[in-house]
Amino acid sequence: MVSIVSVAKVAGVSNKTVSRVINGEPYVTEETRERVERAIRDLGYVPNMAARQIRSSRSNTFGIIADYVSTTPYSVDIVRGIQDWANANGKTILMANTGGASEQEIKIWKMFQSHRIDGVLYVTMYHRIVDPEIGDVGIPTVMINCRPQTSELLPSIEPDDYQGARDLTRYLLERGHRKIGYIRLNPILLGAELRLDAFRKTTGDFGLADSDLTIRLGMEGPVGAEKNYVFAAATEMLQQKDRPTAIMSGNDEMAIQVYIAAMALGLRIPEDVSIVGFDDFRTVSLALRPELTTAALPYYGLGLQGAELLNSVVAGSEVCPSSRVMSCNLVERLSVSSL
Amino acid sequence: MVSIVSVAKVAGVSNKTVSRVINGEPYVTEETRERVERAIRDLGYVPNMAARQIRSSRSNTFGIIADYVSTTPYSVDIVRGIQDWANANGKTILMANTGGASEQEIKIWKMFQSHRIDGVLYVTMYHRIVDPEIGDVGIPTVMINCRPQTSELLPSIEPDDYQGARDLTRYLLERGHRKIGYIRLNPILLGAELRLDAFRKTTGDFGLADSDLTIRLGMEGPVGAEKNYVFAAATEMLQQKDRPTAIMSGNDEMAIQVYIAAMALGLRIPEDVSIVGFDDFRTVSLALRPELTTAALPYYGLGLQGAELLNSVVAGSEVCPSSRVMSCNLVERLSVSSL
DNA sequence: GAAAAATATGTCGACGTTGTCATGCGTCTG
DNA sequence: CAGACGCATGACAACGTCGACATATTTTTC
């Protein structure tokens, strides 16, 4: 392999001078610099990161540890956000996923240590509370889309489920809806409670009574093996004599079933019933007809900011573990009518 | 940082002996081995990969270079397959995505080189033909879910779109369907042609005439900014006086619109019209009511086998660049009725 | 015009690991 | 019992890079 030494030989300088050119250090004549650069090009030299790391004991690498990569396909945007940040800032990303198994998690931490990772981004594919196997290792860590269960103060970045659900609820209320159905997310997800709270609070503030709301559980059970009541719940809701004029679906995926339930009853969307989702999972929200009004989870931004935050933690500039929150923007499409 | 030297000091042996214990080499007394292992545990020593690599000039790392990670969310299963293989075989994965930009691609190859990657997995999120910026670099490469445009002989692994579509078509024919609609994928996707060919050939073999088939384009245009005709096409098809009894949708995502179009016309699924998809994108296929019969793209397997194949290429045991294909298994659910 | 400062380049060692070779010791062979 | 052999261990160098320090050359300063 071509190393700094071979370049030095060809350029007729010492290897230190080559090193200087590579790292853009001062005190190199323009002429020497050109000669070295030409040698680098001719030989196709590329610096060896491993050697660099060994020398500087900084790997410039972040690790991503994720739980279920594939089950919530849309949240890979978090990963994309991280990667884009890394790319722009010259960091390398090492990625691993646990599949939910904690033995895997331990193995991955070991692997990260052996690569002398500078920091870890602990990412979950659902917004939830976790109990990571960290602590004993002592690598700076930022949690993305989740928060630690224990009192361990780890910085985290999460979506603002509450604000998103509040905005969606307001959106419906402002358009005159006074009978609203709500289909709840799986309660094991952190978003479930936050979104429902926001819905309850916002409708209450607006003067709606409990009897104006129909709230049903859409899913329950462990991730990947949930029981699904969405279709039945939506059907039941829409068959009430005083049926809701709008339904808030726990997320976009569940909204598919709400659409189908409504249509099977001969109801038109949005003329007879308005529907909103949550997540802006575009594979769904843009495929539905009419397209779905929803609140977008800021996945990409979570990744971007998470990486940024980790960077400042590693650099030591972030002293107290801050917990940030990112807003869920309402995406207005065509599934809601004004009454 | 605790290194092999500190361990040696604590255990009272030379660093070479520690190295022997770590690598499970023979010629170490049981007693010494234990002493060393205890020291390793006590100090929390973890081997430094960078140093190892520099010494052995093998990084034991594979790179993944992917195009659009997030736009086809389900195909992240490819990545999961690769990671699982890597995890099981002690390899590290470096991942980067181009977002479709070829300047990015060049940058990524440089990055891979600087990490002295052993091999590269070139992954596309849609099954398509690509023209990668490889070749000049000389890193062993395996293509997953795509094939090279040029005559460059690179080993590749692809899904068998043809077989999947053939099986789906047969499935419909065997259940008595003789008028079948087909909504085509975006023609820029390799699967589009393969699936359509299989559909045409299989219906032809069965004796159906062209007039028994209604074939419409569902989408076209660049990835991420397609024009979407699916709903209109499905609606038109189903309004024909001699309407098809079954519709094959180019993929599951498009099937959502076929469902909605059918229901909007008051047709029941599957009693009035049967529908099949393609991909088994479970977020959709399991959310639809009735659940969607489809052909599963073997994404996870592609990743697993791709990594395996790359490994043998790197090891030099794979001489001729083989092009493998993996079958798309039919997943029978409830969206098709027998006539 | 000599001393001080700035610029340009080189030498050397260290990072953590492992391959090569050497050494020491006990056991077997004839 | 001498030589050969197997086993257990250690000394040392090298991988590629860069920081610390040294040296050489030019420019500035008073």
- Res B134: pLDDT: 62
Question: Is the Cβ of B92 closer than 8 Å to some Cβ of chain A?
Answer: yes
Here the tokens at position B37 are 């292992």
Here the tokens at position A131 are 């109990």
Per the model's pLDDT, the better-predicted residue between A254 and A105 turns out to be A254
The stretch B53-72 carries a mean pLDDT of 84
Nearest to B69 among A79, A256, A263 (CB): A79
Give pLDDT tens digits for A66-77. 887 656 667 788
Give pLDDT tens digits for A32-85. 999 999 999 999 999 999 999 999 888 999 999 988 765 666 778 899 899 999
CA–CA distance, A40 with A3 (Å, rounded to integer): 10
Domain annotation for chain A: domains and CATH numbers:
4-47 (1.10.260.40), 61-160+300-327 (3.40.50.2300), 161-297 (3.40.50.2300)
Question: Is the Cβ of A48 closer than 8 Å to some Cβ of chain B?
Answer: yes
Does B289 contact A46 at a Cβ distance shorter than 8 Å?
Answer: no
Chain B environment of A69 (Cβ under 8 Å): 76, 79-80, 83
The stretch B108-126 carries a mean pLDDT of 92
- Neighbouring residues of A67: CB distance < 8 A, sequence distance ≥ 6: A97, A98, A99, A100, A123, A124, A125, A130
The stretch B190-202 carries a mean pLDDT of 96
CB B126 within 8 A of CB B223: yes
Give pLDDT tens digits for A149-199. 775 678 999 999 999 999 999 999 999 999 999 999 999 999 999 999 999
Give pLDDT tens digits for B28-40. 999 999 999 999 9
Does A59 contact B50 at a Cβ distance shorter than 8 Å?
Answer: yes
Length of chain A counted residue by residue: 339
pLDDT(B135) > 60:
no
pLDDT(A261) > 80:
yes
- Res B136: pLDDT: 60
Give pLDDT tens digits for B267-322. 999 999 999 999 999 999 999 999 999 999 999 999 999 999 999 998 877 666 67
Q: Across all residues in chain B, what is the average pLDDT?
A: 91
A281: closest CA of chain B, how far (Å): 10
pLDDT(B133) > 90:
no
- Res B83: pLDDT: 92
Per the model's pLDDT, the better-predicted residue between B78 and B69 turns out to be B78
pLDDT(A89) > 60:
yes
Which of B287, B226, B334 has its CA nearest to residue A73? Answer: B287
B258: closest CA of chain A, how far (Å): 10
Give pLDDT tens digits for B155-194. 999 999 999 999 999 999 999 999 999 999 999 999 999 9
Q: Is the peptide bond before B290 cis (omega within 30 degrees of 0)?
A: yes
Question: Is the Cβ of B219 closer than 8 Å to some Cβ of chain A?
Answer: no
CA–CA distance, B278 with B127 (Å, rounded to integer): 13
**Residue B18: pLDDT band with limits 50, 70, 90:** very high
Q: For residue A171, how far is the Cα from the chain centroid? A: 25
Question: Is the Cβ of B118 closer than 8 Å to some Cβ of chain A?
Answer: no
Does B69 contact A76 at a Cβ distance shorter than 8 Å?
Answer: yes
Does B231 contact A289 at a Cβ distance shorter than 8 Å?
Answer: yes
Sign of the dihedral defined by the CA atoms of residues B190, B195, B198, B203, in that order: negative
CB B280 within 8 A of CB B252: yes
Q: Across all residues in chain A, what is the average pLDDT?
A: 91
Nearest to B50 among A110, A116, A257 (CB): A116
**Residue A147: pLDDT band with limits 50, 70, 90:** confident
**Residue A318: pLDDT band with limits 50, 70, 90:** low
- Res A31: pLDDT: 92
Question: Is the Cβ of A109 closer than 8 Å to some Cβ of chain B?
Answer: no
B32 to B6, B8, B23: CA distances (angstroms): 16, 11, 14
B65: closest CA of chain A, how far (Å): 12
Q: Do the strands B329-331 and B294-296 form a parallel or antiparallel pair, or are they unpaired?
A: antiparallel
Global confidence as pTM: 0.91
CB B239 within 8 A of CB B273: no
Q: For residue B192, how far is the Cα from the chain centroid? A: 16
- Res A323: pLDDT: 84
Q: Which residues touch strand D (CB under 7 A)?
A: A 1, 3-5, 15-16, 19, 22-23, 47-48, 51-52, 54-56; B 12-17, 20, 26-29, 31-32, 51, 54-55, 57
Nearest to B53 among A46, A50, A113 (CB): A50
Question: Is the Cβ of B111 closer than 8 Å to some Cβ of chain A?
Answer: yes
> Strand D: which bases are under 7 Å from protein Cβ?
7-12, 14-20
DSSP string, A255-269: HHHHHHHHHHTT--T
CA–CA distance, A230 with A227 (Å, rounded to integer): 9
Chain A environment of B288 (Cβ under 8 Å): 256-257, 260
- Res A26: pLDDT: 86
Nearest to A115 among B49, B107, B284 (CB): B49
